[in-house]
A = this chain, B = another copy of it.
Amino acid sequence: MALAVLVGATGSHIASWLHPETQADASTSIEWHRETAALAERGLFDLFFIADTPAARTSNLAGFSRMPLYMNVLEPLTLLSALAGSTRHIGLGGTASTSFSEPYNIARQFASLDHISHGRAAWNVVTSANDFAARNFGLERLPPHGERYARAREFVRLVQALWDTWEDDAFVRDREAGLFFDPAKQHPVHHEGKHFRVHGALNIERTPQGQPVIIQAGASEAGRELAAETAEVVFSSESTLEGSRAFYRDLKERMAKYGRQPDDLKVLAGMPLLVADSAQEAEDLHRTLQHLIHPDVGRMYLGMDLETDLSDLPLDEPIPEERIPKDANHHKAFFDHIVHLARVEKLTLRQLYLRYERGRQTLRGTPMQVADRLEEWFSGGACDGFMLTFSLMPGGLASFVGKVVPELQRRGLMRSRYEGRTLRAHLGLRRPPNRHVAAQGAAAD
C-alpha cells in the first residue's frame, strides 16, 4: 500500500492555524518542514508531497486574510531541494504548472532535484485552474480547459524527451582518453510543436531514477487521457468506494492504447483523516475545529459554493429562500449539499457553516477504524494506496505514524523498512529505459 502525505502547513482544516497545537508560521518555516518530513520518513511513507498554485488571492480579503491557504508558502522546488539533505529515503514530490513555466527550466530543476536527492524526485503536472495565477503571467484569464491540456501534454512529452538527452552512461569521464562524455550518447531534442519549439540538449546527465516520477490529478476526460498516457502516480478524489473503483478501472483500461501496463501507474486515493484514540474524541476534535472557523470565513466559503454573496446576512437566521440561486454553475455537489441543509434542515447561516465541510468528508475515527477503511479500499480494488491529508499538522500525521502504521504493518499492508533507495523502488515503478537506447536495442533484435 503506497502512502503519500499532502503537506499543508498547520493542516487541511481551514481553521487549523487557529488551533493551539499547530505552529501558525509553519508555512514559511524550513525547520517545520524538516521535522515534518522526518516524521513522514519515520512512518515509512513513500512520498512527501507539496501542492502549489503560483498566486496569492488579492480579493475577498475579509475572508482570505483569516486563513493561510496558499497566501504565503515556500516554493516547492526550492523547498524539496532543501529537504533532500535532511531526509534519506522518502520521495519528494511537488507541483509545477505547465501553463506558467518553460519546459527546459522544469526539466532541469526536477532532474537536478533527482540528482540532489539521489533518486527521489516527482513532478506533479498541473495546468493551474486559477485566474489569479494567469494574471501573474501576462494573461487576462486562464486559457480554456482543452487548450491547457493540449499544452500540458506537449509540455510533459517534451520534458521527458529532454530527460533522455543523455544515455545513462554518456559521461564516461575517462581521464586516460581525455574524454568527458561520449558524443554518440548525446541526443539533442528537436521539437517543433503547437506550443513549444525546443532545439537542444539538457545540461544535466540522466538522473538516478532515469526520469523523475510523473504525478497527475486531473479527473476530467482530458485529464484522464493525459494521465493514462504519461502519469505514473495519479491522485484520485472520489468520495465513495464504488466511485473510486470505477475511476481506478477506467484509468487502468485507458493505458493499453498508449502501450502501457496497468502497473506502470499507481492510483493513490485522496483520504482526509482525523485519527483519535476514540471515536468520540475524534468527533470532539472535529467539532472544536469547526467552531474555530471565523464567521467571515464560514460565510465566504458557503457563499462561494452557493455561488452568491452572503456577506450581508445575519448569522443566526436561515438563508432567505429568495437568496438561494436556482442552480449551480461550478460545483453542483457542493451547491446541492448546502441547499439541502438550508431548505430541508432549515439551519441558520452559523449552523450551516459549522456543519458544512467543503469537498470530501474527513474520515474521523480510531486507528483501527482508519486502518479498516484503508484496507477496505486497497483490497477492494479502489486504489494502489493513499494520498493522506490531516486536519491538523503535524499532529495528525504523528498519530497516524504512531498508531495506524503499526496496525497496517501487522496486517501486512505496509513495509517494515525501506528496501529501495529511490521513489520508483518504493512505489514498484520500473526505471524507464532511455528511449534512444531502447530504440537501438529494438533495432538490434
Contact = CB atoms under 8 A, between A and B. Distances in A.
Given A24-B175, A58-B186, A66-B179, A104 B108 contact: no
Interface string A38-82: 000000000000000111111001100111101111110111011
Contacts of A175: 17-18, 20, 24
Contacts of A82: 81-82, 84-85, 116
Contacts of A70: 203
A93 to B, nearest CB: 14
Contacts of A101: 102, 105
Given A75-B109, A101-B102, A115 B28 contact: yes
Interface string A91-118: 0000000001110110011011101100
Given A199-B135, A203-B56, A109 B71 contact: no
A181 B24 CA distance: 11
Interface in A114-134: 115-116, 132-133
A25 interface: yes
Contact of A74 (B77, B112, B178): B112
A304 to B, nearest CB: 18
A179 B105 contact: no
A65 B170 CA distance: 10
- Identical chains in the assembly: 2
Contacts of A113: 78
A101 B102 CA distance: 7
Given A77-B77, A79-B81, A204-B74, A25 B179 contact: no
B54 A136 contact: no
A137 interface: yes
Given A55-B203, A204-B28, A74 B116 contact: yes
A150 interface: no
Given A74-B112, A204-B28, A178 B18 contact: yes
Contacts of A105: 54, 100-101, 105
A408 interface: no
B180 A68 contact: yes
Given A66-B178, A181-B65, A109 B78 contact: yes
A180 B65 contact: yes
A371 to B, nearest CB: 33
Contacts of A116: 30, 74, 78-79, 82
A381 interface: no
A418 interface: no
Contact of A112 (B75, B138, B196, B294): B75
Pick the 5 closest A-B CB pairs, nearest first.
A75-B112, A61-B183, A81-B81, A56-B203, A24-B173
21 contacts: A24-B173, A28-B205, A54-B108, A55-B200, A56-B200, A58-B188, A65-B179, A65-B182, A65-B183, A70-B203, A71-B180, A72-B171, A72-B181, A72-B204, A74-B116, A74-B204, A77-B109, A79-B116, A82-B85, A104-B136, A178-B294
